Structure 1
Amino acid sequence: MIGPPAQAGAHGATAPKKVGILLVAFGSSEASAQVSFDNIDRAVRQAYPQVPVRWAYTSHIIRAKLADQGKVLDSPAMALARLHDEKFTHVAVQSLHTIAGEEYHELRRIVGGFQAMALFEKIVMGHPLMATQADMEAVVDTILANLPQARRADEGVVFMGHGTHHPADAGYAALMYRLQLKDPQIFVGTVEGYPDVELILGQLKQRKINKVYLMPFMSVAGDHAKNDMAGSEDDSWVSIFTGAGIQCVPILKGTAEYDGFVKIWVAHAGEALKALH
């Protein structure tokens, strides 16, 4: 986007205002996960058609796997360096993470480094999916609007989040609490945080639920969804629940495939763009 001149450079030279959006995800090497990223990309470009969009993945492991496949994805630092090289003066960095956890705060540190170097006139970060109480309400509404249509009232729905050792992990338990105020048969567990699968299993047994739908609460239905949730290994959630006599129906669809969740990220990107002016 070209606008009024902006100050740039040590000698007081001016450069035309050029605004860009950098979308930053953890990333995935699963080809099937691309549908989620495509959905977000399309929604952001439709909402802000005059603003160029770039992408970066925070996961070094994912970027290395993709590089082996001949697909090169930038790290956030490299993407920002490229934007500077392309003469962008104002950048909205939109996190596509679910919570403000470890990955999100690492991204904040990188953005803070670019702020300190003053390579851009202004650089602003957008919130992840669940950053405010209003976000949480929107997430709850979106979940309730997209529950499996075949599900009966006595059947459970279990969402699998990633989880983290960061204090933001508390958001998953808070989400489950708010969901269960509306529907006590909905559960939210995590792979690497709290609530864990054993706690969820205990609740399912306590409520005598003998059938559940398993759904990822991650932007993409990638490795965690396919293996940790729906895989055939003994420690997958399907295996654990089935072993306890609970019938499982996995649904491999990431949150970024649902327009209701994507709208939240798009709105946060819009807030970041407004803050640039």
Structure 2
Amino acid sequence: MRVGRLLNKAVVVIMAALISVCLQTSDSRAHGHHKKQETKPAILLVTFGTSIERAQKSFANIDKRVKAAFPNVEVRWAYTSKIIRDKLARQGEQIDSPEMALARLMDDGYNRVAVQSLHMIPGAEFHEINANARLFARMAGGFDQLQVSMPLLINDEALGQALKIVKNQVVPKERKAGEAVVLMGHGTHHPSDAIYSALMYKAQKMDSNFFVGTVEGHPTFEEIRDALVEKKVKKVYLIPFMTVAGDHAMNDMAGDEPDSWKSQLAAVGIQSVPVMKGLGEVDAIDDLWIERLKAAMAHLK
């Protein structure tokens, strides 16, 4: 009996020792898995996307200026629109979603990442990017550091800066007194749509013939059209207040269909001059995004 008890005790001691060794080995492997051999920073530029070749000028300009500002940092792109990604894929061009782009960066060993939204406002798409990107930093073996940088219009100062840049650098110099400027924003059902109304308020304070309308939000085009008629404006410069002069600019704003802004203004006797230039083509606008990126990168130490 004594021998049996001793054997049982020995078995318990041996098993406990084996479990302890296994746990230590597992813990050691886990720490080894998380250990980074080197720190590699990266920037992920996220936008809705476009399949229109001419509109790609905005992205090319942003890419050039970001790489010049961060010469030793990997810069990659992602499109939030699945429709655009699928259309480009059929044309032989592969563009990642934000989630796939982050997964690739992780797999390639980049452990410090700044995600820059190239959207106008912090709407539904930005909040989705923000939530999903931060999950990559929380997962086991995920990024050591991750910063999500804000879109263009984030506060009163940014609204004023953007409007001044558009007025001084995008509005044609030949504009005469009494001629109006109408900026076309996208608009959204998200609460951040109110930013466009704030933008309209600031535009009017800056220049009473400066207007901001939206395709899918407020202020509506009808409100802007009626205001132009009331002021007896006869000529308007139409400018996309969007990263690219893409589908909305080509069709909703400047198209020949009866429901385009240009056609509807013509129907009430107002001449339109479309300015087909995305904000991403304007260096001073890109610099506003780059300033946000510099702040984000400063946190990736």
Q: TM-score range by the shorter chain?
A: over 0.9
* 1:69 matched to 2:83: no
Q: Which has the larger radius of gyration?
A: 2
- Aligned counterparts, 1:52-67, within 5 A: 52-67=74-89
Aligned pair count reads: 269
- Structure 1 distance, partners of 2:125, 2:219, is 19
Decide which of 84, 87, 90 is 2:112's aligned counterpart.
Answer: 90
Deviations 1:150-171 (A, max 9, x none): 1111000001011000111111
Partner of 2:164: 141
Higher mean Cα deviation, 142-151 or 225-234?
142-151
4+ runs of 1 displaced by more than 6 Å? none
Residue identity over aligned pairs, in percent, reads 50
- Give the whole-Å Cα distance in 2 for the aligned partners of 1:34 and 1:99: 20
**Does 2:237 correspond to 1:213?**
yes
Partner of residue 293, structure 2 = 269
Show CA shifts across 1:36-82 (max 9, x none). Answer: 00000001001111111011000000000000110000000000000
Name the CA distance, whole Å, in 2 between partners of 1:15 and 1:101: 37
Partner amino acid, structure 2, of 1:206: E
Distance across 1 between alignment mates of 2:133 and 2:237: 39
Displacement of 1:144: 2.0
* 1:33-182 correspondence runs (5 A): 33-118=55-140, 119-146=142-169, 147-182=171-206
Superposed displacement of residue 148, structure 1:
1.3
1:243 Cα shift? 0.4
Distance 2:30 2:202 in 1: 52
SS across alignment from 1:252: coil
Runs (5+) with no aligned partner, structure 1: 1-8
Q: How far apart are residue 103 of structure 1 and its match? A: 1.1
Aligned partners of 1:232 and 1:141: how far apart in 2? 30
More deviation in 58-67 or 144-153? Answer: 144-153
- TM-score, normalised to structure 2, is 0.87
Q: Which amino acid aligns with 1:80?
A: L
Flag the structure with higher strand content: 1
The corresponding residue for 1:250 is 274
- Residue deviations 1:211-267, cap 9 Å, x none? 101010000000000000001111100011010110010111101111111111111
- Residue equivalent to 1:20: 42
- 2-structure distance, mates of 1:70, 1:188: 37
Normalising to structure 1: TM-score of the pair?
Answer: 0.95
The counterpart of 1:190, out of the listed 192, 206, 214, is 214
Report the secondary structure of 2:39's partner residue. strand
- Cα deviation for residue 14 of structure 1 reads 3.4
Measured in 2, the distance between the counterparts of 1:72 and 1:193 equals 31
Q: Secondary structure at the match of 1:158?
A: strand
The separation in 2 between residues aligned to 1:63 and 1:259, in whole angstroms, is: 26
Q: CA deviation at 1:10?
A: 2.9
The residue identity in structure 2 corresponding to 1:199 is E
Q: Structure 2 CA distance, aligned partners of 1:172 and 1:133?
A: 12
Counterpart Cα distance in 1 of 2:62 and 2:201 = 28
Q: Residues 128-157 of structure 1: CA distance to partner in whole angstroms, max 9, x if unpaired?
A: 011122212211221221221111110000
1:201 aligns to 2:221 (yes or no):
no
Q: d(CA) in 1 for partners of 2:188 and 2:218?
A: 8
**Equivalent residue of 1:140, what SS?**
helix
| Residue number in structure 2 paired with 1:231 | 255
